[in-house]
Amino acid sequence: MSKLRLDYKNASSFLKEGEMEMMAPFVKEAHRQLHDKTGAGNDFLGWVDLPKQIDEDEIQDLKETAERIKKNCDVFLVIGIGGSYLGAKAAIEMLSHTFHNELSHERRKAPQIHFVGQNISGTYMKHLMELIENKEVMVNVISKSGTTTEPAVAFRIIRGFLEEKYGKEGAKQRIIATTDKSKGALRTLADQEGYKTFVIEDDIGGRFSVLTPVGLLPIAVSGADIDEIIKGAAIAYDDFKNSDFKDNHCYQYAVLRNIFYRKGKTVEVMANYEPSLNYLSEWWKQLYGESEGKDHKGLFPASVNFTTDLHSMGQYIQDGLRNLFETVIKVKNPKEDIALPTDEQDLDGLNYLAGKTVNFINEKALQGTMLAHTDGGVPNIVLNIDEISEQSFGYLVYFFEKACGISGYLLGVNPFDQPGVEDYKKNMFALLGKKGFEKEKEKLENRLK
Ligand SMILES: O=P(O)(O)OC[C@H]1O[C@H](O)[C@H](O)[C@@H](O)[C@@H]1O
């Protein structure tokens, strides 16, 4: 695998000469705080050295559990929200066949995988129960806190289904819980019932947990090679371990984000040209949104899938409010390709492209769009990767995690907490009538009248 290369020539006209270099001392300090573990949120830095500290016994256990799941079900449900599902979903979408869930069980030698527990929609839940009605089902319930409402609601319903279908004992063999080693409702239940469990360490926050069992078990069930993912992350670890950002593309990305933010480009739009990267952007949005959006500051992370969204959001990016910059993920050698046939009538006028491949057309769309957006006042940063593979996934994960830590420190926030997420929960619990929230309930209900 060759490395990720950051290219900012289509952003350089928005930069003054020497502007990036002026950030060098601040980057050095952020780097020091991250590696010495002296900065804000330093009890959540377990992810920094993780690619080099993988527990081989745990990896073996994950692989064996994944094999057991593959053999014993048609449908594998992964219950989790936020950091407890986005990384695994990003990996599986990136690395699997586009229609992997539709391909037959025999052909894929892996169950259909569905990520659930990310909403509180009765319709969704009812439809899910219809989907699994006559299927052999196994479940990985993932929650670091063990108390998050969405996955807890889904798990309660699905657990009931499993116990009815397989009996209490049978259901136990079909549930794997990934949670805290000692705290929380899920840990208590898992211990009480005797579920197979995997641990999320205290010093790794949910959005930084994709290289732990949180991400690795579902990814292994999909058939992807988790050793290669870790290898990719370990290569990134070595590539980005120096504080001097001249050759450190990860730190350059953090610096560019900070410079554009200060220039009023307060929205970063992540763009891809491969549908399989859609969920990588979703994962990235949580990583950066929760890490930086606090104390009334932070870039707003947005994402688009091109060329699809050129027909919906393209107008805004080209011509709307100039508060955007774009980060484009460019894949040099996509996995597959197909040529455009000649057509005798040529009614669609595409014969000038006959014999050319779809990827060739896509590449020209990328180049044309990038230049147009740059001309329209949107700086473009390009993250070049050579291929879509397990290694490049692991590499990208570590690249974005490390850049996020540095970027958060440059911004002057604690990138490893998310206090703001609690506010809606408090209101929801009060309105639901949870014990201890009686006063708030009354106040909120008055406001809703
Ligand atoms: O894994 P859990 O404890 O269930 O948390 C799942 C997610 O929900 C929370 O509300 C946090 O905002 C996220 O950072 C977290 O990833």
> Which among 385, 286, 402 has a CA at the least distance from the CA of 333?
385
CA distance 393 to 389: 6
Task: List, for residues 41-61, the tens digit of each pLDDT value.
Answer: 999 999 999 999 999 999 999
- What atom in ligand 1 is closest to the CA of residue 206? 16
By most ligand atoms within 8 Å of CB, the mutation choice from 148, 204, 422 for ligand 1 is 148
The atom of ligand 1 lying closest to the CA of 142 is: 1
What is the Å distance from ligand 1's center to 82 Cα? 5
Q: Is the CB of residue 144 below 6 angstroms from any atom belonging to ligand 1?
A: yes
State pLDDT tens for residues 379-394. Answer: 999 999 999 999 999 9
For residue range 307-337, list pLDDT tens digits in order: 999 999 999 999 999 999 999 999 999 999 9
- Spatial separation of the C-alpha atoms in residues 88 and 234, rounded to whole Å: 18
Q: What are phi and psi of 378, to 5 degrees?
A: -115, 105
pTM: 0.97
Burial 325-361 (b: 16+ CB within 10 A, else e): bbbbbbbeebeeeeebeeeeeeeeeeeebeeeeebee
Which residues are the active-site residues?
Answer: 290, 425
Range list of β-strands (E), 273-344: 300-305, 324-333
324 near 376, Cβ under 8 Å? no
Out of 153, 418, 423, 427, mutate this one to test ligand 1's pocket (max ligand atoms within 8 Å of CB): namely: 418
Average pLDDT, the chain: 96
Query: What pLDDT shows up at residue 3?
Result: 87
- ipTM greater than 0.95, yes or no? yes
Q: What percent of the chain has pLDDT over 90?
A: 93
Dist. CA 280 → ligand 1 center (Å): 18
CB 184 within 8 A of CB 147: yes
| Residue 148 alpha carbon, nearest atom of ligand 1 | 4
Q: Are 217 and 140 in contact (CB under 8 A)?
A: yes
Which residue's alpha carbon is nearest to atom 8 within ligand 1? 82
Q: Where are the alpha helices (DSSP H) in 23-140?
A: 24-36, 56-72, 86-95, 105-108, 122-132
- Residue 30 is encoded by which pair of tokens? 């952020």
d(CA 20, CA 259): 8
**pLDDT-derived band at 146, boundaries 50, 70, 90:** confident
